């Protein structure tokens, strides 16, 4: 797995290119854009074995991908909290909000809360049936900024890439989650994504992180 070190002071100025997974999910399914937190290294943290490249940014380190299907819940859930950040009530509220997002917009939000290397890793691909309309939100405080997003191609067409960097900068920075808690960062990010996805698509959609 490739790791990237991104500048702290500014979001990426060039597109993030991402090749297909080593094992395809479906013929038409792949993650096309890895949207990185501004503050530190890649924090899906072994959950997916990916090759990443970003113009002007060198590869800092590499880790072996993790595949632990035993960490998956027995029944389907859009929220997997192996990090133990969320209460049962919070998980239920997030799952309901995610269901409402999908019903209202057609986009699928999936949340994985983890502390690397305790992660189901590659197993989430098939479990969640990730496709081009899926946003995988990985909350992992291992490297500082807790918010990280893997965005499908159809999502990328409607949501400005700068939104994800601004979202990570506002609710994912270490000062925010250290003060308010990892759960507060996760909940705030889900609500901001919900608000963004519900805005009409246009030149100014998602211009503010709410």
**What residue spans define the domains of the chain?**
2-198
Q: Provide the pLDDT for residue 66.
A: 86
Q: What does pTM read for this prediction? A: 0.74
Q: Provide the pLDDT for residue 133.
A: 97
From the candidate CATH numbers 3.40.920.10, 3.10.310.50, 3.30.70.20, 3.30.420.340, the one assigned to the domain spanning 2-198: 3.10.310.50
What is the three-state SS of the chain?
CEEEECCCCCCCCCCEECCCCCCCCCCCCCEEEEECCCCCECCCCCCCCCCCEECCECEEEECCCCECHHHCCCCCCCEEECCCCCCHHHHHHHHHHHHHHHHHHCCEEEEEECECCECCECHHHHHHCCCCCEEEEEECHHHCCCEEEEEEHHHHHHCCHHHHHHHHHHHCCHHHHHHHCHHHHHHHHHHHHHHHHHCCCCCCCCCCCC
Q: Provide the pLDDT for residue 168.
A: 96
Per-residue pLDDT of the chain (210 residues; tens, 9 = 90+): 333 222 323 333 333 333 233 333 333 334 444 444 333 233 344 444 332 222 222 222 334 578 999 999 999 999 999 999 999 999 999 999 999 999 999 999 999 999 999 999 989 999 999 999 999 999 999 989 999 999 999 999 999 999 999 999 999 999 999 999 999 999 999 999 999 999 999 989 999 998
Asked, as a colleague might, if the bond just before 117 is cis with ω within 30 of 0, I would say yes
């Amino acid at each position: 797995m490739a790791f990237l070190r991104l500048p702290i002071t500014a979001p990426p100025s060039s597109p993030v290119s991402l090749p297909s997974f080593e094992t395809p999910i479906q013929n038409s399914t792949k993650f096309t854009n890895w949207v990185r937190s501004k503050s530190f290294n890649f924090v899906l943290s072994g959950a997916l074995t990916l090759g990443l490249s970003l113009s002007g940014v060198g590869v800092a380190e590499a880790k072996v991908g993790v595949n632990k299907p035993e960490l998956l819940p027995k029944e389907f859930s859009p929220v997997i909290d192996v990090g133990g950040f969320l209460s049962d009530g919070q998980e239920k509220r997030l799952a309901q909000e995610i269901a409402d997002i999908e019903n209202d917009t057609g986009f699928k939000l999936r949340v994985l809360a983890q502390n690397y290397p305790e992660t189901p890793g590659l197993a989430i691909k098939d479990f969640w049936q990730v496709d081009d309309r899926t946003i995988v939100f990985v909350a992992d405080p291992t490297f500082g900024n807790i918010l990280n997003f893997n965005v499908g191609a159809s999502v990328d067409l409607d949501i400005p890439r700068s939104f994800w960097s601004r979202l990570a900068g506002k609710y994912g920075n270490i000062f925010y989650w250290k003060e308010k808690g990892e759960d507060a960062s996760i909940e705030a990010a889900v609500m901001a994504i919900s608000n963004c996805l519900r805005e009409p698509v246009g030149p100014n959609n998602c211009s503010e992180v709410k």
